[in-house]
Amino acid sequence: MGGSRGWYKVGLLAGAMSLIAAACGSASSGAAASGSSTAQVPANYASYALHTGDTYSWVLPIPNEANYEPWDQNAEYGMYRPLYVAGSGASPVVNYANSIAQKPVYSNGNKTVTVTLNPWKWSDGSAVTARDVQFFYNLYVANKSQIATYVPGNFPDNVAKFTVDSPTQFTLTLKSAVNPLWFTDNELTDVVPLPQQSWDRTSLSGKVGNYDLTTSGAKAVFKFLYAQSSKLATYATNPLWKVVDGPWKLQSYDPTTARTVFARNKAFTGPDKPKLSGYVLESFSSQTAEVDALRNGSLDYGYLPLSDVKLASTFKAGGYTIAPWATDYVQWAELGYTSKTWGPLVKQLYIRQALQHLINEPLYLSATLHGDGQLTYGPVPNLPGSPYVSAQEKRDPYPYSVSSAKALLAAHGWSAGSGGVLICSNPGTGASQCGAGISKNEPLSLKFMYQTGTPTLQAQVEAFATAAKSAGVDLVLDPQSQSTMFSVGGVCPSSGPCNWGIILYRTFLWNYGQGDVLPTGGQMFGSGNYWGGGYSSAKAQSLINATHTQAGLQPLFNYENYISSHVAALWFPTWDWQVSVVSNHLHGWNPQQVFGNPVPSRWYF
């Protein structure tokens, strides 16, 4: 029997490897390039490639659910700086040197926060003041349900009072004591001073006022700004977006290709002033198009798809530097907890444990990612040297094992049905039964939506589906474009129940630095989340709350250990952000920023 089990594992591994090999063909072979947005780049401008399918499409630095993406936010923050900049080179910390505000001062038992602004100015010559921060705060409070960074109980719910002390200082009176590290790193990094003297209006032709000081006024102003940000064709001409305090200004925007050109803000008063005259964000509809743009020299800073890493030596010989970009990110597949069809299944811990046993992370990392990534066993990035990863989360709690998955399912009332798919033969809520909401003879079938366009992800999905099938689990594959993924998956469950059992995006699910520097779980697995598929656990919420209020790393470790072992999501290996290909004529780009954000103000030729 032991021999037959060994043969079975080898055979399954060989089958998965063949699927992976078939799915990982070169992205640059065969068809000609298509979908490239590259055009001539002006002198002293650098061109940077966004990932396939990524497009800059939101200018207002208050994110909505459909546009809460790092490439949008990074471009926004190049024009509108947050109070505190996340990431300092390769270190996952706040970059105080490049931030608008000085380090906050906590008092009154960590229930009062005083913030002093540095002497920055808007491009129209007006000073950046505490009133601009208050303007952001008022818009946020009145419209929080429409803002992607909002989590009930967090900012601004935890603020009792906002006081403008002077033009350069404001004070937040909090409802209860907080962990200062968490509040600074994960709450204040989301606060963005907005040009009140220009944006506090309800129409382009209307006068600027103090509308935000009332709830109805703040709602009207937000509605207006939101509508203007939705008009992509006007990005380069709308006077609203001409007033910035960051190092860059929008110069041109093509709403068809999303090619975005930024020019140096000559009135920029902050540190780290740009050396370039501008930079360009290039978008591509295929990996082939991006690689061909590198080949023909129209990109200064691009990337190699993992399926094309064999081309690294060619690009090195052609005058490029090849550099893997490891980031403080983490990858998982969301589970549709709120789905009426698949929710009862994924709410069962034993089913989640069984599914995790069917994900062969070491194989995926070596065969599809070529070692460019990290194994993921929980919600905190397993980045080498990170002080935030617990000892427990560095180990796989549910290693790949089809036999373990089968045993878990058999022990909870599942038996073989037609076509090899398991059915619930023992319904009920007992310890050896299928669980609440699962009916007799219901098949163990889950709709699995995943993002198309990336052979690496396709290979992982197919290998997972093959392993699942061998355990009697039917994964109904539902490949979708990135835009569909965002419109269907990105608004669930806050805009309705999830219409899928599992959903998996390309490369990563959560990127720290985009709202969270300290890797606590409020936005991902806290109550009211939508990046966790509607996951809800009183225990998890209690542990998350402790990371917000108690100092030290132990509360963080307690949280991540629980989420890891509870399989709140299905853990997949986290990809490096990319294998960068950078022209040897471009300097200042290294070290690559730890949160995956290009920093063009440092670049120069």
Confidence grade of residue 279 (pLDDT, cut at 50, 70, 90) = very high
Judgement on whether residues 261 and 218 belong to the same structural domain of the protein? no
Task: List, in sequence order, every residue forming a beta bridge with 101; answer none if it has no partner.
Answer: 117
The helix (run of H) or strand (run of E) holding residue 207 is none
Range with the lowest mean pLDDT among 17-31, 122-136, 284-298, 499-513? 17-31
- Residue 214 falls within a domain, yes or no? yes
Residue range 207-222: average pLDDT? 98
Judgement on whether residues 322 and 337 belong to the same structural domain of the protein? no
Evaluate if residue 360 carries a pLDDT over 50.
yes
The helix (run of H) or strand (run of E) holding residue 130 is helix 130-143
Summarised one tens digit per residue, pLDDT across range 149-169 is: 888 888 999 999 999 999 999
Range with the lowest mean pLDDT among 30-39, 155-164, 343-352? 30-39
Query: In the chain, count of helices (H) and strands (E)?
Result: 17, 24
Structure tokens at 331: 């990858």
Summarised one tens digit per residue, pLDDT across range 379-399 is: 999 888 788 899 999 999 999
Confidence grade of residue 491 (pLDDT, cut at 50, 70, 90) = confident
Q: What is the CATH number of the domain that holds 450?
A: 3.10.105.10
Whether residue 595 contacts residue 383, with contact meaning beta carbons closer than 8 Å, is answered with: no
Nearest C-alpha neighbor of 86 from the set 374, 284, 310, 328: 328
Structure tokens at 299: 């990109």
Evaluate if residue 12 carries a pLDDT over 80.
no
Judgement on whether residues 365 and 284 belong to the same structural domain of the protein? no
Evaluate if residue 17 carries a pLDDT over 80.
no
The count of other CB atoms within 10 Å of the CB of residue 108 is 11
What pLDDT does 79 receive? 98
Cα-based distances in Å from 100 to 217, 245, 342:
27, 9, 46
Q: What is the CATH number of the domain that holds 94?
A: 3.90.76.10
- Residue 298 falls within a domain, yes or no? yes
Judgement on whether residues 332 and 266 belong to the same structural domain of the protein? no
Phi, psi of 91 (to 5 degrees): -100, 130
Query: Higher-confidence residue: 545 or 103?
Result: 103
Judgement on whether residues 298 and 438 belong to the same structural domain of the protein? no
CA 155 to chain centre: 19
Q: Where are the beta strands (DSSP E) in 79-200?
A: 85-88, 91-95, 105-107, 112-116, 159-166, 169-174
Residue range 197-205: average pLDDT? 98
- Length of the chain (residues): 605
Judgement on whether residues 126 and 157 belong to the same structural domain of the protein? yes
- Residue 416 falls within a domain, yes or no? yes
Judgement on whether residues 489 and 420 belong to the same structural domain of the protein? yes
What pLDDT does 515 receive? 63
Judgement on whether residues 204 and 120 belong to the same structural domain of the protein? yes
What pLDDT does 27 receive? 42
Cα–Cα distance for residue pair 72/60, rounded to 1 Å = 9
- Residue 92 falls within a domain, yes or no? yes
Out of 204, 229, 254, a domain closes at 229
- If you ran DSSP here, which 8-state letter would residue 268 be given? -
Judgement on whether residues 215 and 274 belong to the same structural domain of the protein? no
> What's the total number of domains in the chain?
3
Q: What is the CATH number of the domain that holds 259?
A: 3.40.190.10
Residue range 460-489: average pLDDT? 93
Structural domain harbouring 364: 328-495+504-512+567-575
Confidence grade of residue 29 (pLDDT, cut at 50, 70, 90) = very low
- Residue 238 falls within a domain, yes or no? no
Judgement on whether residues 407 and 361 belong to the same structural domain of the protein? yes
Range with the lowest mean pLDDT among 274-278, 297-301, 483-487, 599-603? 483-487
- Residue 29 falls within a domain, yes or no? no
Average pLDDT score, the chain:
90
Which percentage of the chain shows pLDDT scores above 70? 93
Structure tokens at 570: 């299905």
Cα–Cα distance for residue pair 563/510, rounded to 1 Å = 14
- Residue 525 falls within a domain, yes or no? no
Summarised one tens digit per residue, pLDDT across range 242-276 is: 999 999 999 999 999 999 999 999 999 999 999 99
Residue range 556-583: average pLDDT? 96
Judgement on whether residues 139 and 174 belong to the same structural domain of the protein? yes
Out of 195, 229, 263, a domain closes at 229
Out of 229, 255, 270, a domain closes at 229
Provide the whole-model pTM: 0.79
Structure tokens at 84: 């505190």
Cα–Cα distance for residue pair 548/555, rounded to 1 Å = 9
Residue range 465-491: average pLDDT? 91
Q: Strand 445-451 vs strand 502-504: parallel, antiparallel, or unpaired?
A: parallel
Confidence grade of residue 414 (pLDDT, cut at 50, 70, 90) = very high
- Residue 461 falls within a domain, yes or no? yes
Residue range 467-493: average pLDDT? 89
Judgement on whether residues 220 and 280 belong to the same structural domain of the protein? no
What pLDDT does 520 receive? 87
What pLDDT does 513 receive? 62
Whether residue 525 contacts residue 334, with contact meaning beta carbons closer than 8 Å, is answered with: no
